[in-house]
Amino acid sequence: MPSWDATKTSGLASCWARSGAISSRAPASSSRSLTSPRVERCVMMFSIMPIENVPNEAPKKRSEIDALEQRFRLLFDSSPDAIFVEDTDGYVLDVNTEACRLHGMTRDQLVGKHVLDLVPPEARDEVSREFPRLAKGELDGVEGFSFAADRGPIPVELRTRPIEYAGKAAILLHVRDISKRRQAEEALHRSEEQLRHAQRLEAVGTLASGLAHDFNNLMTVISCYSDLLLHGLEENTRLHQDTQEIRKASNSAADLTRQLLMFSRKQIVSPVLLDLNSLLAEMESLLLRLIGEDIEVVHNHDPDLRSVRVDRGQIEQVVMNLAINARDAMPRGGRLTIITSNVVLTEAECRLDPDAQPGNFVCLSTEDTGVGMDEETLDRVLEPYFTTKELGKGTGLGLSVVYGIVKKHEGSISISSTPGRGSLFRVYLPSVESAPRQPSKEQLNLEKPRGKGERILLVEDHSEIREISERILTENNYHVESAANAADAVELFEKEADAFDLLFSDMILADTTGLDLAERLRAINPELYVLLTSGYMDDKLQLRLIEEKGYPFLSKPYANMELLRTIRRELDKRAD
């Protein structure tokens, strides 16, 4: 047998532990032998005296030995693990069928190979150093890598035992292909990471929702008093400009809260009937500024597009996030195509996507000619915090927010992509047959809607908001009775129930919810109009019931004009 140089003669078996991280810890399954004890006994028995060395004795005895050899070979080749017999220099003396499959070679090709030919090149130095320990069985139960020309590195688990073969010292090596186990472990690891991401998302959402109500109450006070100051100051004065800056800062603070709630899927949804084509037309100039001049934007809108019932601000966020994602995928320019269409999702199509539901939908698609995504990226692209951008150039929240908004609207999203050829995002939103109501000319031109002497019951537990809201309404010709809780409100209402025209109540009160209060008061006076408000609500606070009852909802923080217009619109329904 030819001799190898010093590096090769100290080689390992046909696989080896990870470079730089040899682990002698046996895995969980190592408590049982990788190969049947019967196979091991046969191998060791035949290694003492190979068949070709048995004297030519009586035919009966020779026949028994032949049968025993056939039984050994059957057990040897039927093992689910690759089995190698190697000499102490690292050369292969014999292999079974699984060893041939593992390396993609025949038995004749494997026999005579040196161990260093059967491990990845990057592991050969370590193989050379540690082979003597493995040959003695000191590193039994390690994980490492074999190598096959058609598969590359193959994760394996190995066990060794010193034996005698043909009268000489040798090594019996059992090698188990653990590729599937590694894949399962990686899938489990990804699931654990996704769970941690989800827990982190939930933690941020819980924090955001806990702060949102109080924070938005404060922003409401700042916004309303800023509006009062602006109304009373002359324009183009320094004080007017300073007050405008305060107003802008309060808007920015409110936007921050909305983004946190949107990220955590806990933002209040204020759905309206919307024509998606009209929304995209209004956003066109914004999108052009957002993505830059080196990207061509092509629109392909279905003129017969059905309406959707959505929160306008959140759908605008979806469009912007998808446009930004497309822009970042085309650093050297390209083309972004925005498509709208009516689609019907069948049950068969929905089986491919657990988030999808059969029915009629409006599909908003964005298709770019960017770098595209591989399968691994595609699997994780909607995960919060996942980003392929450089550190500091992306939060990993853009598409996660899109997913959260779409789910909040009972829709679904599908993504297809090819590396080097771009990506296609399809957002499906449930469609409705009704057309969005166009605002009347009076509504569009209305600058400061005033009251007509109507009487309003204001219920708000935040004293500063209660005071500023009462002042705004009183100064605009409304008669206001205010209460800090539901019990006081009921007491006021019962004294003269028919005198009140509208209930304006916060949803979160110390002794009940605004919805329960509204139902109780309307049981007394069914003609009472209701306007509810809050800085934060989730499904637990009966937002769906509010929608079903048809009560309008005003999100905090609100501006003075927004409050006046909303109340005027509700009271004008009497005239309609």
Tell me the average pLDDT across 108-132. 85
In the CATH scheme, what architecture does the domain 446-574 have?
Answer: 3-Layer(aba) Sandwich (3.40)
Fold of 276-432: Heat Shock Protein 90 (3.30.565)
pLDDT at 197 over 50: yes
Side by side, the strands of the sheet bearing 502-506 are: 479-483, 455-459, 502-506, 529-534, 553-555
Tell me the average pLDDT across 221-237. 88
Q: Which residue has the higher pLDDT, 353 or 48?
A: 353
Provide the b/e sequence for 169-194 (b: ≥16 CB within 10 Å). ebbbbbbbbbeeeeeeeeeeeeeeee
pLDDT at 46 over 60: no
Chain-wide mean pLDDT for the chain? Answer: 79
**Distance separating alpha carbons of residues 547 and 556, to the nearest angstrom:** 17
Tell me what pLDDT residue 298 has: 93
Q: Which residue has the higher pLDDT, 11 or 511?
A: 511
pLDDT at 202 over 80: no
Q: How do the domains of the chain map onto residue ranges? A: 6-177, 192-263, 276-432, 446-574
Two structure tokens written together for 470: 């009462």
Tell me the average pLDDT across 393-415. 76
Tell me what pLDDT residue 302 has: 93
Q: Which residue has the higher pLDDT, 79 or 540?
A: 79
Tell me what pLDDT residue 74 has: 81
Tell me what pLDDT residue 265 has: 55
Tell me what pLDDT residue 384 has: 60
Residue type, 475: E
CA nearest to 39, candidates 86, 108, 124, 96: 96
Chain segment 357-387, per-residue pLDDT in tens: 889 999 999 999 998 888 877 777 776 655 6
6-177: what CATH class? alpha beta
**Distance separating alpha carbons of residues 514 and 56, to the nearest angstrom:** 102
CA nearest to 459, candidates 442, 430, 484: 484
Tell me the average pLDDT across 291-295. 86
Two structure tokens written together for 465: 């908001």
- pTM value > 0.75: no
Fold of 192-263: Helix Hairpins (1.10.287)
Mapped onto helix, strand or coil, the DSSP state of residue 317 is helix
Do residues 61 and 69 touch, judged by C-beta distance below 8 A? no
